Amino acid sequence: MVHGLHGRRRSGVGENFWQFRRFNEGDVPGRIDWRRSARDEHLYIREQEWEAAHTVWLWIDRSRSMAFRSSLSDVTKLERAVVLGLAVADLLVRGGERVGLLGLTRPTASRLAIEKLAEALVHAEDDANHLPPPAAPIARLAEAVLIGDLLAPEEEIAATVAALAGRGGRGHMVMIVDPVEETFPFSGRTEFLDPDASVKLVAGRAEEWRAGYEARLARHRAALADIARRRGWTLTIHRTDRPATEPLLALHARLGEAER
């Protein structure tokens, strides 16, 4: 899965052939393609397609809720988010793109970029925020990838996306969920703990909560999908009991889609 450079579909500096056009006054004679010109009575210039490095900003949720793992999954949400984020970064850097971590690193296309990103994550201070820190809007030709459980209130997520997309920048949200967060397989007396606020909630008959929980989750996801749609972003939902290649393939197809 090599991402490759995004062709800009116009003439410029690059390695890929774009088109032939007729030689005009002022063109450099050294740019004439003599083989093409020999086919008829006109002289032709061989133009290459402009290729430019793409900048992608990554953000990985490191709040306490991301450390959750149920017996239905082999990894925590944070472990999956980090693996997915670094895999996306690796594909981008291999293709000559620039990648940075929002609030932690500057964009880089260095071959050591993945090591630098991983080191920045390891040494970063604990982050209790479920959303990226306030930042300047990303550039119009840049993209953002937000990876987390996206359990923050919808209005806060909408404000974050609006701030990042202020200049027309595109983005992608990846919602990481544990299987029990989707299926709610609880019954009988169940104690629920909030890792962020240390709040405890006891349900006498948890199975009676399932329908209401599923409805609330569906409303939340519908709100996220609407936020993404209004800004031209995308939303991917990934369960940690599924292969990490699934969201990676989805992101691989969507990154730079608008430019292509």
Radius of gyration (C-alpha) of the chain in whole angstroms: 23
User: What is the CA angle 241-245-249, rounded to 5?
Assistant: 130
Q: CB burial class (10 A; 0-12, 13-18, 19+) of residue 63?
A: buried
What is the mean pLDDT, run by run of 10 residues, along the chain of 260 residues?
46 56 85 89 76 80 92 96 94 85 87 91 81 76 92 94 85 96 94 84 93 96 96 95 93 71
Tell me how far apart the alpha carbons of residues 146 and 140 are, in angstroms, rounded to a whole number: 17
- Beta pairing partners, 229: none
pLDDT given for residue 253 in this prediction: 83
pLDDT given for residue 171 in this prediction: 93
pTM (two decimals) = 0.78
> Looking at the domain 55-254, which fold is it?
Rossmann fold (3.40.50)
Q: Is 168 left (phi over 0), alpha (psi -120 to 50) or beta?
A: left
pLDDT given for residue 5 in this prediction: 42
First to last CA, the chain: 17
Residues carrying CATH 3.40.50, the chain = 55-254
